[in-house]
């Protein structure tokens, strides 16, 4: 019954020139989200800057449209709209009663009708239409009542070339449209945290490229597939996501063979950051993103984060989860649909080469001294790793 969806989006900070960039990015991402929904759709903008999803096919999958629109950052809410061709008041009275019948299961709410006339030649004033349609609803359903000041249901009637009727307002994902705030490189593991960190960064309009370090044969193809699947979940909001898969085995082995074992984790993390920074620079990213939060595990003490960050030379490292408790992160991962995949039990490279008693308060000078043992070996291994960068574009189709 709904033939279009009115998209409500925040306009704060998007006045002037930025406004078109914002709207274009929003429309592009709406089209992207709808690509898999059954039906044919057009995303349009009217002269007033209002964005609509118009249904072009006779049939379409309503639930799939809801699912899609809930995944578009920048959408604050959206309203399913009924179209009425015959704008005569007699027909509108019939249609408004049908609308209330089909949209509201229980007819026991307070309401008001709110008419706007874009077509000024219409023979009745807005207030006359309000009164007539309100009366029609009251006559059909004696258990509803009018409240013009604080109605539970606000039924909007817009008289344009055709008439639009809508009242439902479904909450969207909020945030800003993907593509309005540059691009970052997400260090994406198979864990719970980094997909959430990617979601939070993307929510601010940032395009997400990602890098995953795997260590075959110590980590399996299933572990790799799990990360691709997680990238796919993030891509439902942020996509498509360009995922770089880096073979980290030889680098890890070199660290294992040359450096003190209680420093393995921190040195490994520093090489992950260095590689991620290299890929970020090659791909026009303006920062790195990780899923770390202070104190969550031994490698996330302030000292560890300090030493990890020192490996990055030329760009900021964003840690959107920095102040969150594990439970808060878990809750968010459930909400965005990554949790189920994250808890699948496949090994990741950090858990395989981990020392029994890793340093929890590493010192930069000591770590740097240990890393010097890799001189002459590591450069070639890094070149190898870059040369075999496997790019998977996730969420393209």
Closest CA to 303 of 350, 365, 360: 360
201 binds ligand ATP (CB under 6 A): no
What is the footprint of ligand ATP within residues 318-357 (CB under 6 A)? Answer: 348-350
Task: Output 167 or 299, the one with its CB closest to Mg ion.
Answer: 299
Site string for ligand ATP, 99-138 (x = CB under 6 A): ----------------------------------------
- What are the residues whose beta carbons fall under 8 Å from the beta carbon of 253, sequence distance 6 or more? none
- Interface with Mg ion by CB under 5 A: which range of 83-91, 126-134, 185-193, 315-323? 185-193
- What are the residues whose beta carbons fall under 8 Å from the beta carbon of 311, sequence distance 6 or more? 269, 270, 271, 273, 274
DSSP-based three-state secondary structure for 29: helix
Site size toward ligand ATP, by CB under 6 A? 21
Closest CA to 187 of 306, 76, 308: 308
297 binds ligand ATP (CB under 6 A): yes
- The option from Mg ion, ligand ATP, none interacting with 232 (CB < 5 to 8 A, set by class) reads none
DSSP-based three-state secondary structure for 116: strand
Q: Residue with the closest Cβ to ligand ATP?
A: 191
Site string for Mg ion, 154-183 (x = CB under 5 A): ------------------------------
Q: Which two tokens stand for residue 251?
A: 């680098």
- What are the residues whose beta carbons fall under 8 Å from the beta carbon of 141, sequence distance 6 or more? 97, 100, 107
- What are the residues whose beta carbons fall under 8 Å from the beta carbon of 163, sequence distance 6 or more? 83, 84, 85, 87, 92, 95, 157
User: Closest approach of Cβ 313 to Mg ion, in Å?
Assistant: 24
Q: How far apart are CA 328 and CA 2, in angstroms?
A: 36
Task: Output 68 or 197, the one with its CB closest to Mg ion.
Answer: 197
> From the list 74, 80, 151, 191, which residue makes contact with ligand ATP (rule: CB under 6 A)?
191
> From the list 201, 252, 290, 370, which residue makes contact with ligand ATP (rule: CB under 6 A)?
290
191 binds Mg ion (CB under 5 A): yes
User: Closest approach of Cβ 214 to ligand ATP, in Å?
Assistant: 7
> From the list 95, 209, 236, 292, which residue makes contact with ligand ATP (rule: CB under 6 A)?
292
Task: Output 163 or 349, the one with its CB closest to Mg ion.
Answer: 349
> From the list 29, 115, 180, 189, which residue makes contact with Mg ion (rule: CB under 5 A)?
189
For helices 249-258 and 264-282, the axis angle rounded to 10 degrees is 140
- What are the residues whose beta carbons fall under 8 Å from the beta carbon of 41, sequence distance 6 or more? 31, 34, 53, 54, 55, 56, 57, 60, 65
Task: Output 175 or 195, the one with its CB closest to Mg ion.
Answer: 195
Task: Output 68 or 211, the one with its CB closest to ligand ATP.
Answer: 211
CB atoms under 10 Å from CB of 142, counted, come to 8
Task: Output 4 or 194, the one with its CB closest to ligand ATP.
Answer: 194
Q: How far apart are CA 103 and CA 62, in angstroms?
A: 14
Q: Which two tokens stand for residue 134?
A: 């309100």
- Interface with ligand ATP by CB under 6 A: which range of 17-25, 61-69, 142-150, 182-190? 182-190
193 binds ligand ATP (CB under 6 A): yes
> From the list 9, 78, 212, 353, which residue makes contact with ligand ATP (rule: CB under 6 A)?
212
- What are the residues whose beta carbons fall under 8 Å from the beta carbon of 86, sequence distance 6 or more? none
Task: Output 157 or 186, the one with its CB closest to ligand ATP.
Answer: 186
Q: Which two tokens stand for residue 181?
A: 């705030």
Q: How far apart are CA 109 and CA 209, in angstroms?
A: 48
Task: Output 180 or 293, the one with its CB closest to Mg ion.
Answer: 293
User: Dihedrals φ, ψ of 123, to 5°?
Assistant: -65, -20
> From the list 213, 271, 339, 353, which residue makes contact with ligand ATP (rule: CB under 6 A)?
213
Task: Output 84 or 349, the one with its CB closest to Mg ion.
Answer: 349
Peptide bond preceding 240 in cis form (omega within 30 of 0): yes
Residue ranges in contact with Mg ion by CB under 5 A: 189, 191
Residue ranges in contact with ligand ATP by CB under 6 A: 187-189, 191-194, 211-213, 272, 290-292, 296-297, 299-300, 348-350
């Amino acid at each position: 019954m709904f033939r279009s969806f009115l998209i409500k989006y925040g306009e704060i900070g998007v006045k002037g020139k930025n406004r078109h960039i914002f709207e274009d990015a929003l429309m592009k991402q709406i089209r992207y989200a709808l690509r898999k929904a059954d039906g044919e759709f057009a995303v349009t903008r009217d002269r007033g800057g209002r964005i609509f999803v118009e249904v072009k096919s006779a049939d379409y999958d309503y639930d799939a449209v809801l699912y899609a629109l809930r995944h578009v950052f920048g959408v604050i809410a959206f309203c399913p709209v009924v179209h009425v061709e015959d704008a005569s008041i007699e027909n509108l009275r019939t249609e408004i009663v049908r609308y209330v019948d089909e949209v509201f299961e229980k007819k026991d709410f307070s309401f008001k009708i709110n008419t706007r006339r874009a077509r000024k030649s219409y023979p009745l004033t807005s207030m006359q239409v309000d009164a007539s349609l309100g009366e029609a609803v009251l006559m059909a359903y004696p258990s509803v009542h009018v409240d013009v000041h604080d109605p539970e249901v606000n039924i909007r009637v817009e008289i344009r070339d055709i008439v639009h009727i809508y009242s439902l307002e479904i909450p969207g994902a909020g945030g800003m449209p993907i593509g309005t705030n540059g691009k970052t490189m997400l260090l994406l593991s198979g864990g719970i945290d980094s997909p959430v960190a990617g979601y939070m960064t993307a929510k601010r309009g940032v395009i997400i490229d990602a890098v995953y370090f795997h260590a075959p044969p110590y980590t399996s193809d299933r572990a790799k597939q799990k990360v691709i699947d997680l990238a796919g979940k993030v891509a439902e909001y942020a996509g498509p996501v360009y995922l770089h898969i880096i073979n980290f085995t030889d680098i890890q082995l070199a660290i294992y063979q040359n450096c003190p074992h209680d420093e393995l984790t921190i040195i490994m993390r520093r090489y992950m950051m260095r590689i991620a920074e290299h890929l970020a620079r090659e791909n026009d990213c303006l920062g790195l993103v990780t899923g770390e939060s202070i104190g969550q595990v031994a490698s996330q003490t302030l000292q560890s984060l300090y030493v990890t960050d020192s490996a990055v030379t030329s760009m900021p490292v964003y840690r959107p989860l920095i102040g969150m408790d594990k439970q808060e992160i878990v809750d968010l991962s459930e909400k965005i649909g990554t949790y189920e995949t994250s808890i699948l039990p496949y090994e990741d490279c950090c858990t395989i080469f981990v020392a029994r008693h890793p340093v929890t308060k590493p010192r930069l000078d000591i770590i740097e001294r240990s890393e010097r043992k890799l001189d002459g070996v590591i450069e070639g291994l890094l070149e190898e790793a870059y040369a075999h960068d496997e790019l998977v574009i996730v969420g393209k189709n």
